[in-house]
Structure 1
C-alpha cells in the first residue's frame, strides 16, 4: 500500500510517499480502507520533533491521526461494526491507503468522508478545552484564532450550550465567524479594546499561538480562566497548556450527535492527494485556515 512517512525530523521536505506493508487490527481495533485523513497541527509538530514527550514516536514514522473510510478488517472483541461499515475516527498513520483505528463512530447521514475526516481530533480538543476552562451557559468565551478547525468546533459547541462566543480572526474570516454564531473582530493592533467593546470576558482560549497569552489573562483577570492549545510558553503566565487528549470515543459520540442535529458543521477548505502531504503541512503551518484541510485517498 501507499503511505506517507518520514525517516528524520525536519521540514515538509522529509515527507515521502512510500510503499509499505498493510497494517492489521489488534483486539478492540478495526482497519479501514482510508478515503480521507484529517490534517492537524500535531502532525507537523511531530514531524518537526516537537512534543515528543507527550507523543513519543520511533523513526521511520507514518503521519496522521484522524481518518474516515470503510471498515475492511475487524479485530478481536469488536462487535459494534462489521466489514463494509462507513466510519470516522482516530488511529495511527492515517495518511495511507489503509489504517488501523482505535476509536471510531459511524458516519452520520449526509456527511461525506472528506468532511468526516476533519472532525475527530478537533471536536475532542474543543470539548476538552471548553470543559477545562470552566465556561458555563450565560457566560462569554473569547476564542483567539477562531476560524480553524478547533475554533469552528468551539464556536458551535459553545453556542449549543448557551455560551456567547467572541472570536478573533483575520479580516477575510469575519463573516465566517458570524455564520457560526460568534461575535467577530479582527486581531492586530487595538484588538483588546475591540474585544472589550463586545462584552465582558469570562474565559478565553488561545487556539493559534500568536503571542496573546498576556492579553488573554488581562481580559479575563485570571490565568486559570485561560487555556492554550498552541503556545508552549503559556505556563510562564500561569496559563494551562492543554495537550493531552481525553476520551476519543466519547468525543466521537458527541460529534455524531451534534452533526445529526445540525448543530455542527466544519467545512473542508482544501483537500490534497497523498503525494502532496508536504503542501498540506506547509498550508497548515501558515495558518489562516477556514475550517479543515484533509488528505484524500
Structure 2
C-alpha cells in the first residue's frame, strides 16, 4: 500500500509517499480501504516530532487519525462488520494510507448520502468539539463564545451548541462572518477590542467559552465568563494552566462519533471542506492547515 509518511522530522517538504507492506487485521480488528482522511493540526505536530499520548512514534511514521473507507478484511472474532461496509473511523496515527487496520469498536457506519470527503473529516474535529462542549456543560439557554469558529473544530462546536439549545457567538475574520451566520452563530471579529465587541452583541452576558484558536483567546474569555470552570481550550494548555481553566483532550468513542453522524443525517451538522487533495499533495495540505486560516477542513483523498 501507499501511505503519507514522515521519514525525518521537519517542515512539509519532508513528507513522502512510501510503499509499505499491507497491514493485516488481528483478533477484533478490521482493515479498511481508505477513501478520504482528514488533515489535523496534530499531524503537523507529529511531523515536527510530537508523540501523541499512548503512541510509540517510530520513523518513518504514518500520519492520520481520522478516515473513511470500505471494509476489505476482517480479523478473527469480528461480528458487527462485513466486507464491503462503508465506515467512518478513528485511531492514533496510520490513517493517511490506502489501507488502515483499526479496532472494530472504533468504526461507525457511513450514511450512504454522506460524501467521502465529509466522512473522512468528521471524526477528529467533531469529537473534539463534542468533548469540549460536554465538559463545559453547554445546554439550553446558554450563551457560548467559540473562538476560531470557522475552523474545523469551531464549525462543529457552533452547530453542536446550537443543536443543544445555546446561543453562539463566534470569532472569525470578516470574510467568514456570512459563513458563521449560515451556521447560526453571531459573528464577531477577533483581535484587539474583542471583549467590547462580544459585550455589544451579548448584553445578557456569556456563560461559557471554548478556545480553538489560541492567540489571547483565553485572556478575553476570562473577562467575559464569570465561572472559570466553563472556559476551556483545545490548543493553549499553557494558558489554561496559568489561568486555572479547562484543558480539553478529546475523548474519542464510537458512541460520540455515532451521535455526530446522527446529527448530520438530521440536517443539523454541516461539514465544510476547504480543499480535497490527492495524497500526493500532502505537503500542500500541511501548508494550508499550518497557515491557520482554513475554513472547515482539508482532506486527503485516496
TM-score by length of 2: 0.94
Is contact 2:195-2:223 (8 Å) kept? no
Deviation at 1:56, TM superposition (A): 4.3
Q: Which residue of 2 aligns with 1:121?
A: 124
Q: Which residue of 1 aligns with 2:299?
A: 294
Q: Which residue of 1 aligns with 2:11?
A: 11
1:249 to 242, 251, 254: 254
Alignment map for 1:164-179 (pairs within 5 Å): 164-179=167-182
Q: Which residue of 2 aligns with 1:86?
A: 86
Q: Which residue of 2 aligns with 1:284?
A: 289
Deviation at 1:170, TM superposition (A): 0.7
Q: Which residue of 1 aligns with 2:161?
A: 158
CA distance in 1, matches of 2:193, 2:228: 21
Kindly tell me: are residues 246 and 52 of structure 1, through their superposed partners in 2, closer, same or farther at Cα, counting changes over 3 Å?
Answer: closer
Q: Which residue of 1 aligns with 2:194?
A: 191
CA distance in 1, matches of 2:227, 2:11: 37
Task: Tell me the C-alpha RMSD between the 2 structures.
Answer: 1.4
Deviation at 1:53, TM superposition (A): 4.8
Kindly tell me: are residues 280 and 212 of structure 1, through their superposed partners in 2, closer, same or farther at Cα, counting changes over 3 Å?
Answer: same
Q: Which residue of 2 aligns with 1:133?
A: 136
Q: Which residue of 1 aligns with 2:26?
A: 26
SS of the aligned residue for 1:189 comes to coil
Q: Which residue of 2 aligns with 1:261?
A: 266
SS of the aligned residue for 2:237 comes to coil
Any stretches of 5+ residues in structure 1 without a counterpart?
none
TM-score by length of 1: 0.95
SS of the aligned residue for 1:31 comes to strand
Deviation at 1:171, TM superposition (A): 0.8
SS of the aligned residue for 1:100 comes to strand
CA distance in 2, matches of 1:76, 1:167: 47
CA distance in 2, matches of 1:51, 1:134: 30
Q: Which residue of 2 aligns with 1:239?
A: 245
CA distance in 2, matches of 1:188, 1:109: 41
Is contact 1:217-1:225 (8 Å) kept? no
Deviation at 1:4, TM superposition (A): 1.0
SS of the aligned residue for 1:10 comes to coil
CA distance in 2, matches of 1:42, 1:242: 14
Q: Which residue of 1 aligns with 2:279?
A: 274
Is contact 1:142-1:204 (8 Å) kept? yes
